[in-house]
Structure 1
């Protein structure tokens, strides 16, 4: 157990950063967030302290990290803009801060690192030959953390499937399957029929990260774990869960407008990036959580129906069931 329970969270206003920050606070950690304009943050419940500063400025990150044992690096450029210009410098600044303070960096990872050559079952040490720009940047992020580990900088990477959750605004679930603020009459499903897909509920990802953080002394300097999350074996289970949550059991998956994406991609960066990731919907790919289960004993997993209902409620797609206590996160550990 880490005796210095002080953390710096970069990206505390985002989906995964906010979830990890809230959970750390519940577990007795003192959480500090770095934000360019803290006065503009309407919900400051994800941190005890909000410091003004820019993640792109190394001195700001180092100063904010002083006295901390943990740096949660959950910051990303909004709308996928300028990834190639911003993502790597931000990581370099976190590495510099970790080197100066001895803190461990925690990075939410993705399947983007991997190409079709290692599908369908992917382990933590699988070869990384991505076929997309974002994937190549992700590989470089991890390469820099591995190199830093050889110089004493500790890190933890938890890779998971496509995020969904009540605060996951920038996700396939909220930008593809449903429309926030509207009750879904159909679900625009991007995948091919019969192809499985891996999903990750944000509160489960946060719980997994914090459980690993709580076993700091047992972690490798460069530690990597995969989550299984919710495995939709045929692409129909997520659609079915959305139908159950909305009370429309006849809800079907509809045609996804990939041709429209192709036409508009040159003018809209988000659509361009989503189109680039289409290969992950055309092939079955599943990250194996064997290492995680061997280490923790199980994987935190909220039942899919509760996770989807909570997500749709948070996105304003359905009204909250005030009397239904299931809307609170209800972790069920399973392999």
Structure 2
């Protein structure tokens, strides 16, 4: 089999550019020489030279805003989600419908960060792309419907790539477990909360690796099926303790004494009926109680290998980027 042919760089529209994966894919697109357009209510991405970006003020919930921003674009990165699991029922599917309509109108490929919410425990512990999607929560059902709409759109000529991975971590704080539970961005590491069940493995995904994987798939997108799904192995924590212990060890190397404590799921359960974000986080706790590892065989067959940063380097860079360690000396 001959290697895939790399496609030329083009113009990409990024939706959700202020989120974790959105900001990282924006950075890597710019580094690779792509022209990047961002649709955003208020233009600003930390660590990115705003002058390099074609900013368009607008809202992914407005179909015409997305359509106008997508003009002349080859790729639409759909990395937008309601923050804190709020109003998913009202917003997630309309936003993907707007992206699909815009991609159809301009002939763009949709690039989507997938979630593991789509799968129920019957598919665990090793989940491949073809595994049946029987979600256990309303959020998983919404994400399954989102991907179903992408698959249906492929029959109408709309191309899409879904890259699914474990829980995000990286130098930028965002809506993820690493920065919202395990540590506190901007502070020394004193207490590390561990949401996992002892002895149960867990999948993590380093954001720069996720974006690098997406970039590699974009380069060969012409060779892919109209609707292509890929799973990343990412960083596998075999016993649910490796991530927290790595954070603790690296913090100690920088003179910080940290202790690991169990995440207070019991308290979350008490508060869940009164707070939407906590309630929906509570419903997802099964993902921490059983091992879920993603099978990256298809990805490796397509790319040759999965982009992968060494575990300690990824964790230390994440802690440093989030202000928990001193900046590296020049």
State the TM bucket, normalised to the shorter chain.
over 0.9
Q: CA deviation at 1:43?
A: 6.0
Distance verdict in 2 for CA 1:52–1:69, change over 3 Å: same
Q: Deviations over 1:126-148 (max 9, x none)?
A: 00000011111110100000000
In the alignment, structure 1 residue 215 sits paired with structure 2 residue 186: no
The corresponding residue for 1:132 is 137
The secondary structure found in structure 2 opposite 1:199 is strand
The corresponding residue for 1:275 is 282
State the number of aligned residues.
Answer: 322
Q: CA deviation at 1:83?
A: 0.7
The secondary structure found in structure 1 opposite 2:117 is helix
The secondary structure found in structure 2 opposite 1:212 is helix
Q: CA deviation at 1:250?
A: 7.6
Is contact 1:5-1:69 (8 Å) kept? yes
The corresponding residue for 1:102 is 107
The corresponding residue for 2:49 is 45
Q: CA deviation at 1:53?
A: 1.3
Is contact 1:16-1:168 (8 Å) kept? no
Is contact 1:22-1:45 (8 Å) kept? no
Q: CA deviation at 1:36?
A: 2.0
The corresponding residue for 1:308 is 315
In the alignment, structure 1 residue 295 sits paired with structure 2 residue 299: no
Whole-angstrom CA distance in 2 between matches of 1:79 and 1:283 = 23
Whole-angstrom CA distance in 2 between matches of 1:223 and 1:110 = 15
Gapped runs of 5+ residues in structure 1? 324-335
Whole-angstrom CA distance in 1 between matches of 2:329 and 2:88 = 40
In the alignment, structure 1 residue 55 sits paired with structure 2 residue 60: yes
Deviates more, 1:110-119 or 1:88-97: 110-119
Is contact 1:197-1:281 (8 Å) kept? yes
Is contact 1:236-1:253 (8 Å) kept? no
Match of 1:86 among 88, 91, 94: 91
Match of 1:17 among 22, 41, 57: 22
Q: Deviations over 1:34-79 (max 9, x none)?
A: 11233x6676536521011111111111111111110000011122
Is contact 2:191-2:261 (8 Å) kept? yes
Whole-angstrom CA distance in 1 between matches of 2:48 and 2:300 = 34
The corresponding residue for 2:200 is 195
Match of 2:176 among 166, 171, 180: 171
Q: Deviations over 1:135-165 (max 9, x none)?
A: 1111010000000001110000000000001
The 5 Å alignment of 1:117-156 reads: 117-156=122-161
Whole-angstrom CA distance in 2 between matches of 1:42 and 1:109 = 23
In the alignment, structure 1 residue 243 sits paired with structure 2 residue 253: no
Deviates more, 1:70-79 or 1:236-245: 236-245
Q: Deviations over 1:261-302 (max 9, x none)?
A: 111122322222221110010001111001111111111111
TM-score (norm 2): 0.93
Q: Deviations over 1:228-275 (max 9, x none)?
A: 000000112111210222126985531211111111122322222221
Match of 1:180 among 158, 165, 185: 185
The secondary structure found in structure 2 opposite 1:225 is strand
Whole-angstrom CA distance in 1 between matches of 2:195 and 2:225 = 37
The corresponding residue for 1:265 is 272
Match of 1:320 among 309, 319, 327: 327
Aligned Cα root-mean-square deviation (Å): 1.7
The secondary structure found in structure 2 opposite 1:187 is strand
